[in-house]
């Protein structure tokens, strides 16, 4: 393998230039008052840190996590059965069915969000007063990210060694027990990818809460977007780093709960 | 022969490509504007007249406009920032003076007598160089203007009178109404802060309760505003969608700019072929804040002559009149106001003509909505939003965020 080490160098450069450097710049920015990204005339300031302590920031973050948690939960409850039955069914054109599922994703996501807004504002549905509520935001987030849950689970189920399930059945284990003891534990890898893939965009997005939530449901993504728009790169950087740290911590925690001994001992 | 075909195809592609490249005008004007803020047929007309191409980019906030001009990633030739952004850009040296002395640009000369008098006095009072105290004339040409106002539905009986009596305070106090009302607020953090201050009769630029205007909003004022806004309990935060919601009655009132009302009014006429029933109106509170957006030439401009030509073209009486009719914001030029009045006398129509069922004559329109040509004439106190630091704007965002 050593011979091919050289091939990793371009990526390493890429990583340093486009990931490491921006993070370092962001960390430096948090300690200054600058005009946007311009360091000329910058003054040392802890203004960004003072703002982070504002109770409304925690509330926005709390809202984001709340929305993301329920989105993940509903996506899992809806997506797992779809992936399961599709994988274990005898349909010939599984690929076609999957293709149909991602068909809506071929259109721009903003277009779909606005379509939901229009649908929810129709005479029939507007009576439910859904627009501007967390429920509606969660609903539209689920419809947006559901395929991200179905796909990894489906892939894992497809690759699963079916002889293990057959063995379980041969030994007379009831179907539900086979599912709980064999199929589900073996598909957890797919579930965990799905959870992460849905959780991350759901927790950091801002378009859905702005459009469907009428800005009454404010997420941390909304705040991030507007702070950067108002040219406050100092507070914006700190907020981004803070949100990243919280989300990475949650993902690590999720990983730990799922597999406490660590991946090495698997 | 087989080998020849690809060569011929390649040649053909090259010819077509070269043809396209050659037919594209070599002069390009980069124009930074707001959405739905110019009659696009005028752009086509300009392109044909001056054999050039206009590339228009759109922004949704003053801050985005400022950022685009100052970041220098695109060298815009003409931009249309709002009043306080013009001042800020001027102070920071980003604006180039117009070529007003050039006889080629007839519509750019006689700067002092171009604009309607109420606007002219606002300009004289507000658009000053902070060091010399002199007017920064000829660095900007006001494009449209207006005032912050309340669009309201006439469905509920007491809404019009309460709004007329209380101004912006009527957006913050539901106890003024006999029944439940739905109130919308614009989702721009700075406007939210400005509206709540003006509702108390205060200057929208203050940062402390004692009336100081420097620096960032202090914690006392911030807490005061958060409490006030929380108790207002708005039903909706939105932008362009709110005027439609008021027009169809699903919202009782909202805070917005005057131009939004006329835009909505025109839409309702346009969408109701069997006769429009207009059940919404607009009120400009006695204490309000005015704004005007102006055409400017940033120092980064690549085509100074074409930029002057473009603004000269847009300041032409006929073109500006056509533009005003398409956009709905109040015209800034005296000549355009004159044309409106003249056309009204001559029996012109605001919407439709004698054959359409739901037509409205220009005369009736101007009588019913005199504020269109004179947005701030009836006001007792007119403020202007002043340039503020990113710190101030961030605090506004946090105040808005506190309402979640």
What are the structural domains of chain B? 7-145+292-333 (3.40.190.10), 147-290+377-401 (3.40.190.10)
ipTM, interface predicted TM-score of the complex: 0.76
pLDDT confidence bin for B166, thresholds 50/70/90 = very high
pLDDT in tens, A104-154: 888 888 899 999 988 888 877 777 778 888 899 999 999 999 999 999 999
| pLDDT exceeds 70 at position B25 | no
Shortest distance between the Cα of B30 and any Cα of chain A, in A, equals 22
CB contact under 8 A, A229 and B235: no
Question: Measured between alpha carbons, how far is B68 from B89 in angstroms, rounded to an integer?
Answer: 12
Q: A79 pLDDT band (50/70/90 cuts)? A: very high
Task: Count CB pairs under 8 A between chains A and B.
Answer: 74
pLDDT tens by residue, B276-334 = 678 899 999 999 999 999 999 999 999 999 999 999 999 999 999 999 988 889 999 99
Mean pLDDT of A235-239: 92
Q: What pLDDT shows up at residue B13?
A: 66
Looking at residue B107, the DSSP 8-state letter turns out to be G
Joined tokens for residue B236: 């909706």
Token pair 């002069």: residue: B27
Q: How far apart are the first and last CA of chain B?
A: 72
Q: Is the pLDDT of residue A156 over 90?
A: yes
pLDDT at B162 over 80: yes
**Mean pLDDT score, B237-244:** 85
The verdict on B247 touching A (C-beta cutoff 8 Å) is no
* Position A243 pLDDT exceeds 50: yes
Q: What is the mean pLDDT of residues B163-169?
A: 93
Q: Which of A177-191, A221-235, B190-204 has the highest mean pLDDT?
A: B190-204
Average pLDDT in chain B: 89
Q: How confident is the model at residue B382 (pLDDT cuts 50, 70, 90)?
A: very high
pLDDT of amino acid B161: 93
Q: Given the DSSP bridges, would you call strands B349-351 and B330-331 parallel, antiparallel or unpaired?
A: unpaired
Q: Average of pLDDT values for A227-234?
A: 86
Residue B335's pLDDT is 94
pTM (two decimals): 0.82
Q: Is the pLDDT of residue B20 over 60?
A: no
The rounded mean pLDDT for chain A is 87
Position B81 pLDDT exceeds 70: yes
Name the residue in chain B with its Cα closest to that of A235: B394
Query: What is the per-residue pLDDT for A258?
Result: 75
B263 membership: H or E segment, kind and range: helix B258-271
* Cα dihedral A174→A178→A180→A186 (10° resolution): 180
Q: How confident is the model at residue A55 (pLDDT cuts 50, 70, 90)?
A: confident
Q: Chain B: residue nearest A231 by CA?
A: B390
Interface test with B, best of A43, A118, A215, A223 (most B CBs within 10 A): A215
**Residue A264 in this model has a pLDDT that exceeds 50:** no
* DSSP code per residue over chain A: -GGGGGGGHHHHHHHIIIIIHHHHHHHHHTTEEEETTEEEEEEE--HHHHHHT-HHHHHHHHHHHHHHHHHHHHHHHHHHHHHHHHHHS--S-HHHHHHHHHGGGGS-HHHHHHHHHHHHTSHHHHTT--TTSHHHHHHHHHHHHHHHHHHHHHHHHHHS-HHHHHHHHHTT--HHHHIIIIIHHHHHHHHHHHHHHHHHHHHH--HHHHHTSTTTS--HHHHHHHHHHTT-HHHHHHHHHHHHHHHHHHHHHHHHHH-TT-GGG-
Nearest chain A CA: its distance from B401 CA (Å): 6
């Amino acid at each position: 393998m050593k011979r091919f080490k050289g091939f990793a160098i371009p990526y390493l450069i890429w990583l340093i230039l486009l990931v490491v450097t921006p993070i370092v710049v962001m960390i430096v920015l948090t300690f200054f008052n600058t005009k946007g990204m311009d360091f000329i005339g910058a003054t040392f300031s802890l203004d960004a840190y003072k703002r982070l302590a504002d109770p409304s920031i925690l509330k926005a973050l709390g809202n984001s996590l709340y929305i993301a948690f329920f989105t993940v939960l509903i996506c899992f409850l809806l997506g797992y059965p779809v992936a399961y039955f599709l994988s274990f069914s005898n349909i010939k054109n599984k690929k076609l069915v999957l293709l149909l599922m991602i068909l809506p994703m071929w259109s721009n996501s903003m277009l779909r969000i606005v379509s939901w807004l229009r649908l929810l504002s129709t005479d029939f549905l507007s009576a439910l007063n859904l627009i501007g509520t967390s429920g509606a935001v969660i609903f539209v987030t689920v419809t947006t990210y559901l395929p991200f849950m179905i796909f990894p689970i489906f892939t894992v189920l497809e690759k699963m060694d079916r002889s293990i399930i057959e063995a379980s059945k041969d030994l007379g284990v009831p179907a539900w027990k086979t599912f709980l003891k064999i199929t589900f534990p073996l598909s957890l890898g797919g579930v965990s990818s799905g959870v992460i893939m849905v959780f991350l965009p759901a927790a950091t997005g801002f378009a859905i809460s702005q459009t469907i939530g009428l800005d009454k449901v404010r997420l941390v993504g909304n705040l991030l977007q507007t702070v950067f728009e108002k040219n406050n790169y100092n507070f914006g950087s700190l907020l981004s780093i803070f949100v990243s740290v919280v989300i990475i911590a949650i993902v690590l925690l999720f990983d730990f709960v799922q597999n406490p001994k660590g991946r090495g001992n698997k | 022969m087989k080998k020849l075909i690809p060569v011929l195809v390649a040649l053909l592609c090259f010819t077509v490509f070269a043809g396209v490249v050659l037919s594209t005008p070599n002069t390009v004007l980069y124009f930074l504007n707001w959405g739905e803020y110019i009659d696009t047929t005028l752009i086509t007309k300009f392109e044909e007249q001056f054999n050039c191409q206009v590339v228009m980019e759109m922004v949704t906030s003053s801050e985005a406009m400022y950022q685009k001009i100052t970041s220098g990633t695109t060298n815009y030739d003409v931009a249309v920032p709002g009043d306080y952004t013009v001042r800020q850009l001027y102070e920071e040296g980003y604006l180039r003076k117009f070529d007003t002395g050039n006889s080629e640009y007839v519509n750019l000369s006689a700067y002092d007598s171009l604009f309607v008098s109420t606007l002219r006095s606002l300009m004289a009072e507000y658009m000053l160089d902070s060091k010399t105290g002199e007017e920064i004339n000829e660095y900007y040409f006001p494009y449209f203007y207006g005032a912050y106002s309340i669009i309201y539905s006439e469905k509920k009986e007491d809404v019009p009178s309460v709004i007329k009596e209380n101004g912006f305070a009527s957006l913050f106090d539901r106890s003024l109404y006999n029944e439940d009302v739905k109130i919308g607020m614009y989702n721009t953090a700075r406007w939210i802060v400005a509206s709540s201050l003006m509702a108390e009769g205060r200057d929208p630029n203050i940062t402390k309760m004692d009336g100081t205007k420097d620096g960032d909003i202090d914690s006392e004022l911030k807490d005061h505003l958060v409490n006030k806004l929380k108790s207002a309990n708005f039903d909706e935060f939105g932008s362009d969608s709110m005027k439609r919601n008021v027009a169809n009655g699903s919202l009782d009132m909202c805070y917005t700019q005057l131009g939004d009302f006329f835009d909505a009014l025109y839409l309702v006429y346009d969408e109701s072929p069997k006769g429009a029933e207009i059940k919404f109106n607009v009120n400009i509170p006695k204490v309000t804040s005015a704004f005007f957006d102006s055409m400017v030439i940033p120092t980064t401009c690549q085509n100074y002559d074409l930029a002057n030509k473009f603004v000269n073209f847009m300041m032409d009486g006929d073109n500006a009149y056509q533009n005003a009719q398409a956009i709905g914001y109040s015209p800034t030029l005296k000549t355009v106001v004159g044309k409106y009045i003249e056309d009204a006398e001559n029996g012109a129509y605001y919407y439709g003509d004698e054959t359409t069922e739901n037509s409205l004559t220009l005369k009736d329109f101007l009588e019913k909505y005199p504020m269109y040509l004179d947005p701030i004439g009836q006001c007792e106190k007119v403020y202007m939003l002043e340039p503020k630091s990113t710190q101030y704007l961030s605090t506004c965002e946090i105040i808005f965020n506190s309402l979640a």
